[in-house]
Amino acid sequence: MNKIVGNFINKKIQICSEENFEQVKTKVLDKVDYVVLVRNNTPIKIFPVENGKITEALCIVHFLVGKENMEIDLEKYRGEVYLVMDNDEIKGVVTFKEIYCYLMNDLKAIEREFELVKTDLEAFMACSEDLACITDGTGRKIRISSSAERIYGLKPEDFIGKNVAELEKNGVYFPSATKMAIEEKRKVTVIQRTKTGKKLLVTAIPFFDEKNNIKRIVSISKDITDEEKLKAELKETKALLRKYEEELISLRAVHMKNSELIYRSKQMEKLVELVNRVAPTDSTILIYGETGVGKEVLARYIHNISRSGNAFIKINCGAIPENLLEAELFGYEKGAFTGARSEGKPGLIEVADKGTLLLDEISELPLSLQVKLLRVLQEKEFIRVGGVKPIKVDVRIIAASNKDLRELVKEGKFRQDLYYRLNVVPVTIPPLRERVQDIPVLAYHFLNMYNEKYGRSKQLTNEVMEVFMKYPWPGNVRELENVIERVVIISENDQITKKDLPWELLDQGEINHSFGVHVSRLMPLKEATALVEYQLIKQAIEECGSSYKAAEILGVDQSTIIRKLKKYESTFL
């Protein structure tokens, strides 16, 4: 039986019962192709209509339209006409010729598709560098790619028909991934050795039929004979690239030595582009950023673009007592207050005339002085303490803050009018942890600077740079600079390693590994802290050779080392 799937062209039909069949026969049936005789609504015969007249009756065979179960015995009913039905409803008729043509077209389409698949498969197996192989469910090889000769030393045709168990037994290769996949009924990956001395990574994948029997196994073999050699070459290449990168960064740091801004990140690049557009003007700039990000460095960079050659004055508004800050900023006339100079004194605003005044930590400026500063910004003039005559100044004000002035305005701790005067061009310097690309170039810049300052030739190892890249740098650029200066001074060798770094840069696991610090049992936290401190002190003295060097590395006084050592020895020994 052949299955016929699909809808066929319906013919025009006339349905009639046995009672009116004779009457229908006498009519001229020029508009129909067939007459279907029914009995009790059941078709019993089909009559073709030729030249408007009914001819002899034909055999009736039912099959469904649009279903997957349309079957017909082509040998038995060859040359017949068949009634097309669907759920007891007559749809039409179809001839054997139409069925045959349908089947032939479908078969040709299948053959064309098969040839395309076969061509694709052969192309894949021929062009792939890896060895591809297909076996049947018993492990007998059906197809194998041409790379078999290069890998196994045998031509592809030598494998066809051979069983994988036989090839394994004869030592062509071992073990057989296909054999293991058949036995275990799952995907298998193994390292295989061949008779020719090759080392292969083989993956065998079984494919099952509806009864869970293995029909085919596809295996892919990758030649990894030179894997170790490639790994070594890759490692060497990476090391070489790292060396070139370090040299490039170092050269860039030297090139940028006379520049005040050292950066490589996209964030800083965009920030500098903005600053370069604003710096030539006299606009007030408000620099935001955490402590140590380089707010003063950026302010000096702006000054050198716009007012180079004139004074650059910085004052930290939070570092000077409030009762002295006014005199420092605005100056005073003689006799203005007790202890004042007899000749008076100019303030920093006056000293910065024609230049730039950086007001660091502007958020700490008292409200009483904010009014006077606002006048400087608006009128370009001020009055000394104890004076009555306004003094004109041409000074560019740059403010810096690590606090959000908008929030301080809401809290009533900062004047709103002054905030808007300062916030003409706000610039935020991102923290170092958010621009890790800048860490290497800054590190090498500071390394070159302190090597030159102290007459050293220190170098940073890869492990140190890895620590630098992972550390969050809460103190930002200033902390990085301090760390570099410290290791340049205290490291004993030219190669700076992790053991030369401050403890806070290393995570606890690295500290424990480096110094063998451990707590072997549960104990109160106070006792555990003391034990760890004792182990660190002992290990530091052993590695450094003296309590002085140990104290320097641990960041305490030598007397503290001796005192704690005696205390802990009496406790733990």
Average pLDDT over residues 39-68: 69
Average pLDDT over residues 257-281: 83
Write the pLDDT tens digit of every residue in 331-385: 888 766 666 666 778 889 999 999 999 999 999 999 989 999 999 999 999 988 8
Q: How far is CA 225 from CA 133, 221, 373, in A?
A: 19, 12, 76
Write the pLDDT tens digit of every residue in 98-151: 766 666 666 666 566 656 555 655 655 555 678 888 899 999 998 888 888 888
For the chain, give the mean pLDDT. 80
CATH 3.60.21.10 matches 128-227: no
Strand ranges, E, within 303-429 = 312-316, 331-332, 345-346, 356-360, 381-382, 391-392, 396-401, 425-428
Average pLDDT over residues 471-494: 92
Tell me the CATH number for domain 433-505.
1.10.8.60
Homologous superfamily, domain 266-430: P-loop containing nucleotide triphosphate hydrolases (3.40.50.300)
Which pLDDT value is given to residue 111? 63
Which pLDDT value is given to residue 228? 60
Write the pLDDT tens digit of every residue in 295-335: 999 999 999 988 888 999 999 998 888 878 888 898 888 76
Average pLDDT over residues 454-463: 90
Three-state DSSP class for 532?
helix
Average pLDDT over residues 69-93: 63
CB atoms near residue 234 (< 10 Å): 10
Domain ranges for the chain, please list them: 8-101, 128-227, 266-430, 433-505, 525-570
Q: Where are the alpha helices (DSSP H) in 62-191?
A: 96-127, 148-152, 164-169, 177-184
Average pLDDT over residues 553-569: 79
466 — phi, psi (to 5°)? Answer: -65, -40
Which pLDDT value is given to residue 167? 92
Amino acid at 380: K
| pLDDT of residue 513 exceeding 50 | no
